[in-house]
Chain A
Amino acid sequence: MKRTNKPTILITGSAGALAQQVINRMSDSCNIVAVDFREQVYLGDDIPSYRIDFNKRVFEDLFRKYNFDGVIHLGRLIASQETRMRRYNANVLGTQKLFELSHKYGVKQVTVMSTFHVYGAIAYNPALIDEDAPLKAAELTMDLVDSVELENLANIYLWKYPDIHITVLRPCNIVGPGVRNTISLLLSSKYAPVLAGFSPMMQFIHIDDMADAIVVAHKKNIPGIYNVAPDDWVSYQEALQLSGCTRVQIPSIPPSLPRFISRIMGLKSFPVYLLNYFKYPVVIDGKLFRNTFSFKAKKPLKEVFRYYADGKRD
C-alpha cells in the first residue's frame, strides 16, 4: 500500500458483503486496511487484507504498522454463527481489545456496527423506539447477550476515553445482494415459516443504503448512538409475500410449541432465540440519524423485495 496523505482506516469484517461495499466507497479517499477473523479476502493490490483473531497479539502489530486514523468495526459474529462462547470471545472481548488498542495508538474515531435486536422483542414495545430506550434483548435470551454487551462496552469507552470519537449504529434488518443474515435467508427461501396469527411490523434497509450510512457517519464524525432505519414499514408476512415466499404457518400458542418445533426441525433461518422478533414488533426511530447526517435511504421497499422475488424466478 502506497502511503499518501489520505487517512488510514481499519475496516473489520472484510469478508462480509457490507464491509466490501464500504471499502468500495472509501478506497478512493482513504487508505484501507481490511481484517476479518473468518477468512482472508482479496480486495485489490492497494488494500492489505488480513485474517486475524482480534484477541491474538499479532492484531496489535497492525496498529503499530499502519498508524490508523479511524476504525470501522463491522466484524461481528451474528447469533446464528458459532457457539455462544466463541461469539462472546469474538464480539465482546475482541471489541474490547479493539477499543484498548485504538486508545493506545491514538485512533481518533471508531464507528461500531450494532443491531436493532438489542432492544428486544417484547409485547409491550412502543413503536418508533428511541436510542435512549433500555436494551432488553438480554432478558429474552442468552444468545443475544453478546450484542448487548458489545453496546455496553462501546458506552463505557465513550465516557472513559472521550478523545476517541465513538459512533454506534443500530440498523434495522439489512437486506439485499450478498447479505447472509437470518432475515435475508428467509426472504430468499421459497418456503418461509411464520407464527400463526402474528405478523409484526418490520423495517428493512438495503445493503447499498446501509453502506452509504456507515460512510457518511464516519466522514461526518459526530459521536453518539444512532438507530439507522428508513421512514417506511411493512408487516413480516407481507414482506414474505412481496418477496415471493410461500408462508408456512407454525402454531404460535402455547409459546413453548413454536420453540419446540424450531428446535426439533433445526430451522436455522427461524432460530429459537429470534422467535419473538417474528411475533412482536421492534420498530426503531431513525429520525436522529437521518437529521444529524442528512441521510435518506434511496432504495424503496418494493425494490428490495423485488430482488428476492426475481431471485426465485431465475
Chain B
Amino acid sequence: MLVVNFLAIDPGKSISGKPITRYTLGRFRLSPLHLFYLRKIEDVYAMGIRSFLKNALVSKELDSQLNKINKPVGSLGYDPWGYNVDANKVAMAIFDYIYHKYFRVEARGIDNVPAEGPVLIVANHSGQLPIDGTLIGYALTSREKNPRVPRAMIERFFPTVPILGNMLNQVGAVLGDPVNCAKILSNNEAVVVFPEGIRGSGKLYKDRYQLKRFGNGFMHLAMKYNAPIIPVGVVGCEETIPAIANIKPLAKMLGVPYVPIALPVVFPAKVILNFGEPIYFDDNVIDEDHITERVEVVKSAISKLIDKGLSERKRLF
C-alpha cells in the first residue's frame, strides 16, 4: 500500500504493439525487478518485520517443535518480561545454523533438566559475550522431549541500549534482578544463572576454565522456591573471544563492565555443554556460612563437569 501509493501508472504500448502498463516513481521508470523489490518492502511494511522474518525463516518443523513449549503468555504472545513467541521462533531459526554448524555444539545430559516446575540452571561463564547463555538456551528450547524456554539474566546496562535491549527481552532474556528471578521461579519457569557474573565473562584467556568467586544469591532463591539446581559445565566458549588484557580505565569511562583486548572476531570453537544431575537443597539453613558451603557444592559439581568436557574435547576448533 505504502509504495504503490507513490507509483504512477502509465498505460502504453510495447514494441510489438501489445498494451502494457508502465510504473514510474517520480521521474524514474521502474523495471519489473524494481517492482519486485518494492513489493517485497511493501510486504515487510504491511506484515511487520517480525512476521516477515518468521514467514521467511521459520520452517514448519521448527514451528511445530516450538509450539510444543508450554510457556504461559498473554493473549498477544507476550509475557511480562517482554518475551514474545514469534520473536523467539525467529531467533531459534537464526541460531540453528550458529549452534549446529558454527559452534557444532554437543549437549550432553540435557534431559536432566526437569520437564516442568522451577529450576535453576547454573553454569560457568566465559567468552566476553553471552554466547554461553544463548547456547544453553537453544539447547533446552530445541530439546526433543519437553522443550522449555530458560530465562537468562542479563547485565543491567542492556535495557538502556536501543534495539538490543528489546531484542534480548523478546527472545527470553531478563534484567538480572533478584525480584525478576524470584517472580520467574514462582511462575514455574527455568532460569539460567552465571554466579560468577562479569568476573567470569570478562576473564582473560590465561585464566580460562578457572572458576571465579560465586555469588550466593542463586542459592537463596533455589532454597526459597524449592527449585532444583542443574550444574552445567561449558567448554569451548573460552576460546570464542580470547582476551589478553582488559582496559579498565576505558571500561570505567564508557560505563561498561570491561573492554577486552581481543581480535574483533568470534572464533568457531567447538562447544561442549555437560548438564549434570539435579541437586536439591532444603530450606532449613539460615546461616550465610552454610549457604556458602552449599554454593561450594554446586561450584565443585560444575568444576567436575568442566573437566569432563575438557577430557572429551578432541580439538579446539
Which residues of A are at the interface with B, using a C-beta cutoff of 8 A? Answer: 123-128, 130, 195-199, 201, 231-235, 238, 241-242, 252-253, 280-281, 283, 285, 300-302
Q: Which residues of A contact B174 (CB under 8 A)?
A: 127
Q: Which residues of A contact B166 (CB under 8 A)?
A: 197-199, 235
Q: Which residues of B contact A280 (CB under 8 A)?
A: 159
Which 4 residue pairs are nearest across A and B when measured between Cβ atoms? A197-B162, A232-B74, A126-B179, A127-B80
C-alpha gap A242/B161 in the complex (Å): 25
Say if the beta carbon of B79 comes within 8 Å of chain A: yes
C-alpha gap A196/B78 in the complex (Å): 20
C-alpha gap A126/B174 in the complex (Å): 9
Are A124 and B80 touching (Cβ within 8 A)? no
Nearest CB of A to B1, in Å: 12
Pick from A126, A235, A241, A242: contact of B177, CB below 8 A: A126
| Listed A/B pairs (7) with beta-carbon separation below 8 Å | A127-B174, A196-B162, A198-B166, A234-B74, A235-B84, A301-B75, A302-B76
With A198-B162, A232-B76, A238-B76 in contact, do A124 and B82 touch (Cβ < 8 Å)? no
C-alpha gap A233/B73 in the complex (Å): 9
Q: Which residues of B contact A197 (CB under 8 A)?
A: 161-163, 165-166
C-alpha gap A10/B166 in the complex (Å): 44
Q: Which residues of B (214-268) have their CB < 8 Å from a CB of A?
A: none
Pick from A201, A232, A241, A301: contact of B81, CB below 8 A: A201
C-alpha gap A127/B183 in the complex (Å): 8
A contact face: mostly helix, strand, loop, or mixed: loop
Q: Write the chain A residue with the least CB distance to B156.
A: A124
Pick from B74, B78, B84, B175: contact of A126, CB below 8 A: B175
C-alpha gap A195/B165 in the complex (Å): 13
Interface string of B166-191 (1 = CB under 8 A from A): 10010000110101100100000000
C-alpha gap A234/B75 in the complex (Å): 9
Q: Which residues of B contact A242 (CB under 8 A)?
A: 76
Say if the beta carbon of B11 comes within 8 Å of chain A: no
Are B78 and A302 touching (Cβ within 8 A)? no
Q: Which residues of B contact A123 (CB under 8 A)?
A: 156, 159-160
Say if the beta carbon of B48 comes within 8 Å of chain A: yes
C-alpha gap A281/B82 in the complex (Å): 9
Q: Which residues of A contact B156 (CB under 8 A)?
A: 123-124
With A196-B162, A281-B82 in contact, do A124 and B76 touch (Cβ < 8 Å)? no
Pick from A130, A233, A241, A253: contact of B78, CB below 8 A: A233
Are A252 and B162 touching (Cβ within 8 A)? yes
Are B162 and A253 touching (Cβ within 8 A)? yes
C-alpha gap A232/B77 in the complex (Å): 9
C-alpha gap A292/B283 in the complex (Å): 28
C-alpha gap A122/B75 in the complex (Å): 26
Q: Which residues of A contact B161 (CB under 8 A)?
A: 197
Q: Which residues of A contact B78 (CB under 8 A)?
A: 201, 233-235, 238
C-alpha gap A238/B82 in the complex (Å): 12
Q: Which residues of B (127-163) have their CB < 8 Å from a CB of A?
A: 156, 159-163
Pick from B48, B84, B162, B180: contact of A127, CB below 8 A: B180
Are B162 and A301 touching (Cβ within 8 A)? no
Q: Which residues of A contact B84 (CB under 8 A)?
A: 235
C-alpha gap A296/B115 in the complex (Å): 30
Are B160 and A231 touching (Cβ within 8 A)? no
Interface string of B59-99 (1 = CB under 8 A from A): 00000000000000011101111101000000000000000
Further contacts, 13 of them, CB under 8 A, given A127-B80, A283-B80: A127-B81, A127-B174, A128-B183, A197-B166, A198-B165, A198-B166, A201-B82, A232-B76, A234-B78, A235-B78, A241-B48, A242-B76, A285-B183
